[in-house]
Amino acid sequence: MAGETLKKWETKNGKRPQFTQFTPNLPNLPLKWWREESHIIDVEDVKRAVEQNPETIVIGTGESGIARVTEEAKKFIQEKGIKLIIDKTEEAAKTFNIINAGSKEEEGKQNKVIDLFHLTC
């Protein structure tokens, strides 16, 4: 599924993608995937991001913060030595942009940051 892109409202198994992932090596290319439960982010939902070996994962929990990250998912990410930031999606997007802008200013250093944004609620 790596590199697979879908049209805005295309579905898989009748489900719309809930999260978008951006990576520095693929700027402006969103990668979409589907979760098992709408407002629960579990280990299976973050595995693909963790496999990219980022330094940081930023998770947006929706406009009003309804989505929840399970303790198992948090532990799975942090056990890999990955910094985890969780916030409402608007703030998470700002954080992601600040991290990227800051790392671009550092000479020869581009932090690998992945964001997972719940796009509704």
The pLDDT value given to residue 99: 86
Q: Among residues 111, 113, 45, 58, which one has the least CA distance to residue 88? A: 58
Q: Provide the residue ranges of all domains of the chain, joining segments of one domain with +.
A: 19-117
Q: Which residues contact 14 (CB under 8 A, 6 or more apart)?
A: none
Q: In this predicted structure, what is the pLDDT of residue 3?
A: 38
Output the pLDDT for position 112: 86
Domain 19-117 has CATH 3.40.630.30: no
pLDDT computed for residue 75 by the predictor: 98
The pLDDT, as a whole number, for residue 29 is 47
What is the pLDDT, as a whole number, of residue 32? 63
Helices (H), the chain: 43-50, 71-79, 89-105
Per-residue pLDDT of the chain (121 residues), as tens digits, is: 333 333 333 445 555 555 555 555 544 445 565 666 778 999 999 998 898 888 999 999 999 999 999 999 999 999 999 999 999 999 999 998 888 777 666 666 677 888 888 877 7
What is the reported pTM?
0.74
Q: What would the pLDDT profile of 10-41 be if each residue is shown by its tens digit? A: 445 555 555 555 555 544 445 565 666 778 99
